[in-house]
Amino acid sequence: MRTIDVHTHLMPQCFWHTVNQGKEWYGVKTEAGTPGFTVNQGRRDPISSPKLRFTPEQRLQDMDAQGVDLQVVSIALPLVGYHLPAAQGRQLAREVNDEISAMTRQWPQRFAGLATLPMQDVRAAVTELERAVQMLGLRGAELDTVVNGKGWDEAEFLPLFRAAEQMGALLFYHPQPNNNFLTKFINRYALSNSLGVIVEDTLVASALISGGVLDHCPDLKVCIAHGGGPACYGMGRLDRGWQVRPEARAHILQPPSRYQSRLYYDCITMSEPALRFLIDTVGADRVVLGSDWPYVGWDPSPVSWVQGLASLTQDEKDGILWKNLEALLGL
């Protein structure tokens, strides 16, 4: 049996080489201490796991311990740099994508990669996605759930969706764990991570559906982190809004729930009943293995967690653990 993990993060070695010399990496610096912090735009994000410093060789050892054969690697979200001037954003993306590509070429059986894109300049983002997929061999891109305050239903992002659809590239959406809308209202009890991220997941799913993106690009490949949050649970309300409110029908001809099975979702629900509901709602072929490496400490491993779920059939487990991603990414 093969295991493929779509949701694994990287703080690149080019970042560590720079900050370890006491320099800033595209405006990001580190603070000493345990666990230590990165400082970006005045915001402090914890370096919450020593594994964030791992070299690829150390990462491989940890993958073996977790029973993961192949990781799909993407940048840690606090480093995406959408706020930078466009030229710096392009340079950051190229530097990170070159490093991820080098990992996939040196260990092609162990790593696949998702690019980061300079989304402050959509034309440059399309160019970099083309370079990442067609020249570097990456499988798509990881994207934040918002771009400098803008949602993904804005018309300016349509060229990126069309380019990704044409290339067969996967777009993987993941919110900022310590800088999402919930932090503006209640930044206590770790709610920005436990609840804030899944609300952001729900909002991006809703924007892609209700904004008509999936009608414009019917073959677009999209995966949303953390099981899509409570998006599937809320589809009844979205459908009701579509039925009774004309603004909810402005961009789509079918109820929102008709579109939810065109998206993919990782399995990080942290709850077997929730995962069972997700599978029953969208189909077992739309759910894939995710771990949020190394931010989530799994005991047992994410692979063992899926294997031990009594409510899933072996075919469903096999689909989640490798078959669905193998087909989706052409691995």
Looking at residue 76, its pLDDT comes to 95
The full DSSP string for 8-43 is EEE--HHHHHHHTTT--BTTBEEE-SSS-EEEETTE
Q: How buried is residue 22: exposed, middle or buried, by Cβ count under 10 Å (0-12/13-18/19+)?
A: exposed
Helix (H, G, I), strand (E, B) or coil at 92: helix
Give residue-wise pLDDT tens across range 94-125: 999 999 999 999 999 999 999 999 999 999 99
Distance between CA atoms of residues 25 and 42, nearest Å: 14
Q: Are 297 and 320 in contact (CB under 8 A)?
A: no
First to last CA, the chain: 14
Spans of all domains in the chain: 4-329
Handedness of CA 10, 12, 17, 18 (dihedral sign): negative
Instruction: Say if CB 179 and CB 43 are below 8 A apart.
Output: yes
Q: Is the confidence at residue 220, as pLDDT, over 80? A: yes
Q: At the topology level of CATH, where does 4-329 sit?
A: TIM Barrel (3.20.20)
Shortest CA distance to 133 belongs to which of 83, 104, 169? Answer: 169
Instruction: Return the bridge partners of 172, or none.
Output: 142, 223
Q: Please give the average per-residue pLDDT across 281-286, as a whole number.
A: 97
The per-residue pLDDT for range 118-152, each reduced to its tens digit, is 999 999 999 999 999 999 999 999 999 999 989 99
